[in-house]
Amino acid sequence: MIFFDTTEVSSWRHESGLARVSRRLLAELGGAATEARWPGMRSVPGAADWVLTSELFSEFERPGFTAFIEERRCRLTAVYHDAIPIRLPEITWPRSVERHPGYMKLLARFDHVWAVSAASREELLGFWKWQGVAHPPPVDVLPLGADGAGIPRSSGPAPGRGGPGAPRIVSVGILEPRKNQAMLLDACEALRREGLEMELHLVGRVNPHFGGPIARRVGEMRASWPGLRHHSDMGDAALADLVRTARATALASIAEGCGLPLLESLWMGVPCVCSGIASLVENAAAGGCAVVDGNDVEGWKAGLRRVLTDDAFHARLSSEATNRPLPTWAGAARLLREALQGPL
Asked if pLDDT for residue 33 goes beyond 90, the answer is yes
**Over 70: is that where the pLDDT of 40 sits?**
yes
CATH match for 168-323 among 3.60.15.10, 3.30.70.270, 3.40.50.970, 3.40.50.2000: 3.40.50.2000
3-class SS of residue 335 = helix
Count of all residues that appear for the chain in the document: 344
Please determine, for residue 188, whether its predicted confidence score (pLDDT) is greater than 50.
Answer: yes
On average, the pLDDT of the chain sits at: 94
Q: Where are the beta strands (DSSP E) in 23-88?
A: 33-36, 50-53, 75-80
Please give the full DSSP string across 86-102, using - where no structure is assigned.
Answer: HH-GGGS-HHHHHHHHH
Mean pLDDT for 161-189 is 90
82/121 Cα distance (integer angstroms) = 9
Domain locations along the chain: 2-145+328-341, 168-323
- CB of 30 closer than 8 Å to CB of 338: no
Q: Are the CB atoms for 337 and 32 separated by under 8 Å?
A: yes
Question: Per-residue pLDDT for 164 more than 70?
Answer: no
What pTM was estimated for this model as a whole? 0.95
**Homologous superfamily of 2-145+328-341:** Glycogen Phosphorylase B; (3.40.50.2000)
Q: Is the pLDDT score of 89 beyond 60?
A: yes
- pLDDT, tens digit, 9 for 90 and up, residues 112-123: 999 999 999 999
With cut-offs at 50, 70 and 90, classify the pLDDT of residue 344.
very low
* Cβ proximity of 169 and 201 under 8 Å: yes
The most confident of 64-73, 148-157, 181-190, by mean pLDDT: 181-190
Higher-pLDDT residue of 163 and 275 is 275
